[in-house]
Amino acid sequence: MNTSIHETKTDKLFKALVYVFLTGALAIVLYPLIYIISASISNPAAVNSGEMWFFPVDITFEGYNLIFENGAIWRGYLNTIFYTALGTFINLAVTIPAAYALSRKDFVGRNLLMGMFVLTMFFSGGLIPTYLVVKNLGLIDTIWAMVLPNAAAVWNIVIARVFFQTSIPKELEEAAIIDGASNFKMFIKIILPLSAPIIAVMALFYGVGHWNGYFNALIYLSDKEMFPLQLVLREILVLQEMSSQSTNLTGSMAEAMHSKQQLAAIIKYGVMIVSTLPIIIVYPFLQRYFVKGVMIGSLKG
């Protein structure tokens, strides 16, 4: 659409305002991100005094060194990788076949089942009854508490189902049935190879959820050896910082706290980056898949 010939003065002013607004939004979002990167490699004293406000000051990698030497962070990292891999695998194994079956028009009872799933988006037993179920199943302090209570998300089943309804040619299914293929065989030989885009989208959505989640670990895990990265981060970024701001300790406790705080001050910006790194790395390449996922969910209806 070429509108440039018709542009009046007010239009030009309006367009300029739009650019100013967007540049402002860009700056507001970008600044904290740049600040974190700069702060993570600057001298902590310069960061805390406010001397460092944009470009790194006295570049040092001491923070990253300490992070790499920190056993808790490493263990958390490995735990998170494990929970994310296992959790996402289970998510996909539950979501993809179910969504496919629910997309089949000749599947008797699909609306009833879908209704049963969707209802849980609006009504739930709540935190305590769910916790009691997990507890009664003996899942507390096991890896299963990290992957089973969120083995599927209704919204993702909905997205995958819409994908199957709209992207798999019905003729393929009919042909396969005429050829005498069973549903299993058809799913594995025909449907799955065509499902790469939706599997990617689902793996991303679920994977980011596992990577970033802390609440399940908070309520279901008490064994520090099993803590995922986000809980380790919570101790470094939230608990110690909060206590330094809101309590007054005395004596050796205070000293111990103080040295911990010094450590936290040096590594806090670094751990923000290290913990988000995998997502930062994949994000630019996979952004369109994320967006696609949201779009399928919003538009195809």
- Residue 46 binding another protein, by CB under 8 A: no
Q: Are 271 and 237 in contact (CB under 8 A)?
A: yes
Residue 122 sits in the site that holds another protein (CB under 8 A): yes
For position 154 contacting another protein by CB under 8 A, the verdict is: yes
8 binds another protein (CB under 8 A): yes
Q: Does 77 bind another protein (CB under 8 A)?
A: no
DSSP collapsed to 3 states, 177-206: HHCCCCHHHHHHHHHHHHCHHHHHHHHHHH
* Rounded Cα–Cα distance for residues 263 and 289 (Å): 38
* One of 116, 172, 249, 281 touching another protein (CB under 8 A): 116
Alpha helices in the chain (DSSP H): 9-40, 44-49, 62-69, 71-103, 110-122, 127-136, 144-147, 154-167, 170-178, 183-186, 192-194, 196-212, 215-220, 229-233, 240-246, 251-299
Which of 94, 190, 192, 263 touches another protein by CB under 8 A?
A: 94
Which part of the chain contacts another protein (CB under 8 A), choosing from 7-15, 56-64, 192-200, 251-259?
Answer: 7-15
Q: Please give the Cα distance from 102 to 184 (Å, whole number).
A: 15
277: contact with another protein by CB under 8 A: no
Establish if 298 lies at the interface with another protein (CB under 8 A): yes
Closer to another protein by CB, 65 or 111: give it. 111
Q: Which of 198, 221, 230, 266 binds another protein (CB under 8 A)?
A: 230
The yes or no reply on residue 269 touching another protein (CB under 8 A) is yes
Looking at 14, 138, 255, 281, which residue binds another protein (CB under 8 A)?
A: 14
> By CB under 8 A, is residue 263 in contact with another protein?
no
